[in-house]
Amino acid sequence: MFFHKSSKHRSASVDFAHLPRHIAIIMDGNGRWAKKRGLPRTAGHAAGAENFRTIATYCKEIGLEYLTVYAFSTENWSRPQEEVSAIMGLLKQYLVEAIGKMERDRVKMKFFGDLSPLSQELRDLCAQTEEISRHYEGVQVNICLNYGGRDEILRGVRAFAAACAAGETAPGFLDEETFGQYLDSAGVPDPDLVIRPSGEQRLSNFLLWQSAYAEFYFTEALWPDFSKDELHRALAAYQSRSRRFGGV
């Protein structure tokens, strides 16, 4: 099935029969979106959360297997206290709503990151969300919370070292596949496509290990404005690439 879309930028034809298995998105640009409208940054986060609902639902509709989104980084704690609290509040609101609509939406959800510094209430909501949605088929959405690629690698290294110290394994057994099992993304294939809206062209500590061979797509659109059309353009760009994985 081909979808032809004409837009003011350029038309994007997506071959929906050959989608990437796993798309990862750095949901950036909420603050600038709000500033442009003379609104507080928190209004941008609310608009960003709303857009996340739209895009996640759409990914299920088109039959994507995995969507991973960067919602809060290990570095984002350095923001003003009011902004961090507002983001945590929106997160809680999102999870409560998602749990309420779970039987209808049937989206499998997982959380990546070190959840231990989050409030007990939020951690319980995350655990509940994962538990209820565990058996759902279709798209799996991974939400990265207090996530940092370096932190994830260090947590994995510590867990492997602990298993060695306990005599359960030994350094010689560690290869890329085994190490992958110690990461938050255990069991999830590497992202094929990493999208960053908002014009920034950097990883900001996102999926460092897993992005080794990802294709990147950058757009000036701010996350709350990142529409289905924008996603189509990203998918079309992805489908025009030649992935060689070091071969010829």
Report, as residue numbers or ranges, the catalytic residues.
28, 76
Range in contact with Mg ion (rule: CB under 5 A) among 23-31, 147-155, 156-164, 178-186: 23-31
* Exposure class string for 198-208: b at 16+ Cβ within 10 A, else e: beeeebebbbe
Residues contributing to the site for ligand IPE (CB under 6 A): 26-32, 70-73, 76, 87, 198, 200, 202, 204
Close Cβ partners of 178 (under 8 Å, ≥ 6 residues apart): none
Cβ distance to ligand IPE smaller for residue 202 or 241: 202
Choose, by CB under 5 A, the member of 28, 151, 184, 215 that binds Mg ion: 28
Residue nearest to ligand IPE (CB): 31
Q: Which does 183 bind (CB under 5 to 8 A by kind): ligand IPE, Mg ion, none?
A: none
CA 96, chain centre distance (Å): 19
Smallest distance from Mg ion to CB 206, Å: 12
Rounded-to-integer distance, Cα 140 and Cα 22, Å: 9
Smallest distance from ligand IPE to CB 79, Å: 8
Smallest distance from Mg ion to CB 202, Å: 10
Close Cβ partners of 36 (under 8 Å, ≥ 6 residues apart): 222
Smallest distance from ligand IPE to CB 77, Å: 10
Q: Which does 73 bind (CB under 5 to 8 A by kind): Mg ion, ligand IPE, none?
A: ligand IPE
Close Cβ partners of 20 (under 8 Å, ≥ 6 residues apart): 64, 191, 192, 193, 215, 235, 238
Cβ distance to ligand IPE smaller for residue 30 or 129: 30
Residue nearest to Mg ion (CB): 28
- DSSP label at 200? -
Cβ distance to ligand IPE smaller for residue 26 or 56: 26
Cβ distance to ligand IPE smaller for residue 43 or 87: 87
Closest CA to 231 of 64, 116, 31, 47: 64
Q: Which does 32 bind (CB under 5 to 8 A by kind): Mg ion, ligand IPE, none?
A: ligand IPE
- Which token pair is 147? 């996530």
Smallest distance from ligand IPE to CB 70, Å: 4
- Which token pair is 111? 């959380």
Cβ distance to ligand IPE smaller for residue 28 or 160: 28
DSSP H helices, the chain, are 30-36, 41-62, 81-100, 102-105, 120-133, 149-165, 176-180, 228-239
Which residues contribute to the site for Mg ion (CB under 5 A)? 28
